[in-house]
Amino acid sequence: MRYSALALLRHALTDNRSWTPAWREPTPKSAYDTIIVGGGGHGLATAHYLAKEHGLTDVAVVEKGWLGSGNVGRNTTIIRSNYLLPGNTPFYEHSMKLWEGLEQDINYNAMVSQRGVLNLFHSDSQRDAYARRGNAMRLAGVDAELLDAAQVRAMVPGLAMEGRRFPVKGGLLQRRGGTVRHDAVAWGYARAADQRGVDLLQNTEVTGIRIEAGRVLGVETTRGFIGAQRVGLAVAGNTSRVAAMAGLRLPIESHVLQAFVSEAVKPMIHTVVTYGAGHLYVSQSDKGGLVFGGDIDGYNSYAQRGNLPVVHDVMECAVQLFPAMSRLRTLRQWGGIMDMSMDGSPIIDRTPIDGLFLNCGWCYGGFKATPASGWCFAHTIATGQPHALNAAFRLDRFATGAVIDEKGAGAQANLH
């Protein structure tokens, strides 16, 4: 079924009773050509691009819960490609271009809203650093503008600019950045992959990875063994646990990141604003709630919930930037489990086991990368070779020293 204005009208006339499920509930086959473990944004995007770009449709996505039950529904919906390092910038810019054409590609309203991402700076040296990043972006063909304080004031009226410990001196703006309705990304990719023949196996937990003579044979699941020529892991915070089933020990720690939504208010912030002196990113959803988040809690966690010190810190940052937010009540708060890598950059690569591929290390920037991650992972799985866009995201870069450390924080996962 294709969605269109006409279809909406037709279903409205029949009281919306004739909608059918957006994807099938298939029984697992005994074997597939390719199995993707993880039915989140990255896994579903991988399945879609495997089918669309590489003609591989004998594919199953194996998900332990329901589709999109992990981080694709737990983020703050921000998309951007404002990176400094050459290993990162082309990849994230490819992602941005895929976002720009996503809704036409998958015929699904993902509410891609290029409302801009504004990174505030608060000192001369920070201005220099942001100008350098903006220049690097423009050299790589990404849009970037350096705004002075007056331009920021005109763009975001509610900001507390002066008389503060950290006055706002300006900002680096990427106008093509913005937000996307995150659940719709998972559902849209799922539906598109399903229509091309991919089997989406929900409530099917992987309990083991069968390997013989250094080659993957398939996965053990709660619904029995499923054979496969190739297996790709896209399981975010559970990466270490699933990779351990294949005997791999990874440069990954799992950490909890919290996010928050306030009660709905009238239009107040019409772009994405990030705080350069603390750590806060905030935007306003179409329903009116302010969606915001800050740092990870800083300790290893698989609990999908955080603790009060970080709640306190995030709220303080929010009120420093937007004093009016002190009057708002928080409606919801939750946590997601981040696969923090040792240099803050992702891994999309082969593994030492033939036929086993790895997609992980997204830290807390995985959502914006969803389309390019799926696109590059599909390429890597289908051809057996990384694409030029993910060539730097190697698993062995920690051993060789070719790390991609945007923050320059070193091998300390909770600082990235």
Partner 1 sequence: MRILCPYCGDRDAAEFTTIGSAPPPRPAPDAPMAEWHAFLHLRDNPAGLHAELWQHSQGCRQWLRVMRDTRSHAVAGAEACRS
**Residue in the structure block whose two tokens are 């914006």:** 368
Q: Which helix (H) or strand (E) segment is 271 a member of?
A: none
Which one, 114 or 414, has the nearer CB to partner 1?
414
**Min CB(383)–partner 1 separation in Å:** 28
Which one, 202 or 414, has the nearer CB to partner 1?
414
**Residue in the structure block whose two tokens are 């990875």:** 209
**Min CB(366)–partner 1 separation in Å:** 17
Which one, 142 or 209, has the nearer CB to partner 1?
209
Q: CA Rg, the chain, in Å?
A: 21
First and final C-alpha spacing in the chain: 43
**Min CB(203)–partner 1 separation in Å:** 20
- The candidate with the shortest Cα–Cα distance to 250, out of 228, 235, 266, is 235
**Min CB(232)–partner 1 separation in Å:** 20
Contact residues for partner 1, defined by CB under 8 A? 238, 240-241, 249-254, 298-303, 307-309, 312, 342, 398-399, 411-414
Helix, strand or coil, per DSSP, at residue 235:
coil
**Min CB(240)–partner 1 separation in Å:** 4
Which one, 152 or 395, has the nearer CB to partner 1?
395
Other Cβ atoms within 10 Å of 4 Cβ, number: 10
Other Cβ atoms within 10 Å of 186 Cβ, number: 25
DSSP 8-state class, residue 113: B
Distance CA 296, CA 294 (A): 7
Which one, 106 or 338, has the nearer CB to partner 1?
338
Distance CA 180, CA 34 (A): 29
Strands 117-121 and 170-174: antiparallel
**Min CB(412)–partner 1 separation in Å:** 7
Which one, 369 or 403, has the nearer CB to partner 1?
403
